[in-house]
Structure 1
Amino acid sequence: MFKVPTATRSSFSRRQQPYTATSRARYHSERRAGETPKAAQPSQSDRGSGVSLSIISFSCGTVDSVALTTLTFNCDGLVGRYVNIFLPGHDKVLTLCEVQIFTSKLPTGKNVALGRSVTQSSTDPGAGAEGAIDGNSDSDFKHGSCARTRKSKHPWWRVDLNESYNVSDVRITNRADCCSDQLQGAEIRIGDSLENNGNSNRLCGIVDSVSGTTLTFNCGGIVGRYVNIVIPGPDKILTLCEVEIFGSELPYLHGKGNLALGASPTQSSTDEGAAAERAIDGNSDNDFRHGSCARTRKSKDPWWRVDLNETYRISDIRITNRADCCSDQLQGAEIRIGDSLKYEGNFNRLCGIVESVSWTTLTFYCGRIVGRYVNIVIPGPDKTLTLCEVEIFGSELPYLHGKGRLNFPKRLSFNTAFSRRCCTRFVSEHEPQCVFMKSLRHSVHRLSFTSSGDHMLIKTSHTPNDYTPDEEHHPAIRVLT
């Protein structure tokens, strides 16, 4: 039976115990009772001693003891399609009551490292940095497809992706013909800074086991242009036979860029000059002390809002959280989008909730929610909202080329028979009242009415004379010139 957990490991920093929690609890409870653990009593289970577990040609582990009924092996991310369990030797019987295999899917998508600019701290003759992104994962150094530095202090390798990506996974192929332990302790770092040659950027993972040739690290969407691999310490050699980087381009709007830039922000309160405008100043510095973050006072349900000045279809929102301290304050924040300012806009449609602050930069896909106002609010008492940058990406609503929009007020024909069902009010030279239409003299392609944060798009016939709406089910609006 195969069981695949929903969560993936972010690195190989956690070592599993040699047996499961269930068997461990049972084992120790029997020991405390003064009994010999049942699994340790001599039995025919001894026939399983020496069993080897392998994936492709790599060994994951060997059963050295059958004192416990349930045995767990940490395979450290070995990559393979087939899992074999076999007993070497003659006259053996292999009995398996249950085999459970826990995996994560290999990263999919395009390897964004191919064809990029690479460099390294030093180069061992014939082993240039380009060897690690040549598309060849041959792990035999003698075949000439690996990058290697000279022995030095803190050797590093870096690839420039030319632009920032949301990096989801990094896969490293280590040397297998010898010396694989040289990669032990290597750090994978991702970011946009070249300070300290990029080796101080955000940490994705650490190589704490080299039992497998191919190592995959889940980076959780860290944003960065540079990916570094560095081994801290003196007298180190860094060898990389292949580095594959998987991620997605940052969201953007053709011709518009970040919609929040130049918009009008406000917030529920302001702490020590940390005004709302700081969250859309184009500076994603996440150190609050540098003066580029917005912050409210501690209060109930603190919120921040930006007015985009017109309605957009919002596709993505990227938030840069504070990193110098207190990042957990953003936990539970809600991102809301809509056209209503009722309750300050904090009950508009929900785009997402900050459920984890493990990363400084958080990106939310909003599914093209339509709205003019974008709110970020933290529900609850005694909360402080800090935002170092908010970037909003989307597209304009469709319009009719060459015609523009009809400008109201116009003379309107009202049918107030439907007023009990009407939730939209319109202001013209008449008193505000519900607007419907029964026939058309213009071919109106779109009318947008705002009510409680929702949009109603009404498309009409291109041949108005042929259009006869059913007054009971299809009320319409008549525009007279």
Structure 2
Amino acid sequence: MREILNSVFYVLLTNSLQSVFGNGSLNIALNKNATQVSTFNDNVSRFGPMNANNGNRNQVATNGDCTHTTDTDPVKWWTVDFGNMYTIESVHIYARKDCCLERHSDFEIRLHNTSDWSSQFSLCYKQIGQAPSELYVNCTDHLSGKYLTVYKKDDHHHYPLTLCEVEVYGNEVTGKTVNTNTLKPTTEITTITNQIRQMTTNTRNNYDIQPKGIA
């Protein structure tokens, strides 16, 4: 009976941890609806927003594999709609390599629950200065959202926003509304562990087994 209870405890704990952290194997941005503030020369097929989440990591913008906004917008942004709420684990951004590496600088990665990314959002990452051409970011505290925006404020350089591929890894949130400002994995694990301990104790008591070694 002790072996059975230990097995039950292990399965419940494993499933609970996966529900909090997930396996991060799904690129939830792939081929989802994407928009951006503007498109260079209005050439959507060559520089449009879908070039950043079509699964092509080619980093040569002149081949038509990257997005490209104009340089005159007060802010530059690119947004992808996941369709549902997801807990985000990591974001991978592939930038242009054939030219103008300094343009890939001073931007933010924002998560939000509505299409209005400017009023309410959670900050996943803030890049200060030039970023590497392949950027891998882990979102702190496993933030959640329905949308992700790469946001760049205009400055005296007037750099456009150019993204060759944006991959977002996470897991769908089901059965509850998530407050992106309060979800804390450590709190979730503590609650889950205490619940499992109580379940284990109750199960042992039902079989008249005295619990041993449970804090």
Residue equivalent to 1:388: 164
Any unmatched runs of 5+ in structure 1?
Answer: 1-250, 400-445, 457-481
**Alignment map for 1:392-431 (pairs within 5 Å):** 392-399=168-175
Aligned-pair CA distance for 1:265: 0.3
| 1:351 alignment partner AA | C
Specify which structure has the bigger relative contact order, considering alpha-carbon pairs within 8 angstroms and separated by 6 or more residues. 2
Aligned match for 1:324, one of 95, 98, 113: 98
Tell me which of 79, 90, 96 is aligned to 1:305: 79
Structure 1 Cα separation of the partners of residues 82 and 169 of structure 2: 11
Contact 1:287–1:324 (CA under 8 A) maintained in structure 2: yes
Query: What's the C-alpha RMSD, in Å, of the aligned pairs?
Result: 2.4
What is the match of residue 211 of structure 2?
A: none
**Equivalent residues in 2 for 1:32-71, closer than 5 Å:** none
CA 271–314 in structure 1, closer or farther in 2 if over 3 Å, else same = same
What amino acid does structure 2 have at the position aligned with 1:261? L
> Which secondary structure does the structure 2 equivalent of 1:295 belong to?
coil
| Deviations 1:48-74, CA, capped at 9 Å, x for gaps | xxxxxxxxxxxxxxxxxxxxxxxxxxx
> Helix, strand or coil: the match of 1:277?
helix
Residues in 2 aligned to 1:292 and 1:346: alpha-carbon distance in whole angstroms: 31
Aligned pairs for 1:197-216 (under 5 A) are none
Q: Give the CA deviation at 1:455.
A: 7.7
Q: Would you say the 8 A contact 1:338–1:345 is kept in 2? A: no
CA apart distance, 1:354: 2.1
Give SS of 2:27's match: coil
SS for the counterpart of 1:292 is coil
Q: Match for 1:337 among 95, 111, 119? A: 111
Instruction: Assess if the C-alpha contact under 8 Å between 1:300 and 1:383 holds in 2.
Output: no
Is residue 2:138 matched to residue 1:369? no
Any conservation in 2 of the 1:321–1:386 contact (CA below 8 Å)? yes
The answer to whether the 8 A contact 1:330-1:378 is kept is no
Find the partner of 2:64 among 264, 276, 291. 291
Cα distance in structure 1, aligned partners of 2:124 and 2:76: 18
Aligned to 1:270: 39
Change (3 A) 1:375 1:346: farther
- The letter of the residue matching 2:169 is F
Distance 2:35 2:163 in 1: 12
- Per-residue deviation, 1:340: 2.9
**Amino acid in the other structure paired with 2:28:** L
Equivalent residue letter for 2:35: T
Q: Provide the C-alpha distance between the structure 2 equivalents of 1:330 and 1:346, rounded to a whole number of angstroms.
A: 24
Gaps of 5+ in 2: 1-21, 184-215
Q: TM-score, normalised by structure 2?
A: 0.65
Letter in 1 for 2:88: I
In structure 2, what residue type is equivalent to 1:279?
A
> Where does residue 126 of structure 2 map in the other structure?
353
2:29 partner amino acid:
A
Partner Cα separation in structure 2 for residue 268 and residue 336 of structure 1: 15
Higher percent of residues as helix: 2
SS of the aligned residue for 1:332 comes to strand
- In the aligned structure 1, how far is the partner of 2:119 from the partner of 2:100? 23
User: Alpha-carbon deviation of 1:262?
Assistant: 2.1
- CA distance in 2 between partners of 1:252 and 1:318 (Å): 16
Q: Is the 8 A contact 1:336 1:346 kept in 2?
A: no
Deviation of 1:290 (Å): 1.2
TM-aligned CA deviation for residue 341 of structure 1: 2.8
Q: How far is 1:355 from its partner?
A: 2.8
Q: Which of structures 1 and 2 has the bigger CA Rg?
A: 1
Deviations 1:249-303 (A, max 9, x none): xx9634xx21111211000001132000000011111111111101111121110
Q: Distance in 2 between matches of 1:291 and 1:300?
A: 24
Please give the per-residue CA displacement for 1:136-166, whole angstroms capped at 9, x wherever unaligned.
Answer: xxxxxxxxxxxxxxxxxxxxxxxxxxxxxxx
Contact 2:30 2:53 in 1 (8 A): yes
Match of 1:198 in 2: none
Q: Secondary structure at the match of 2:34?
A: strand
Deviations 1:360-390 (A, max 9, x none): 1001110311101000011124331000000
What secondary structure sits across from 1:341 in the alignment?
coil
Query: Normalized against structure 1, the TM-score is what?
Result: 0.30
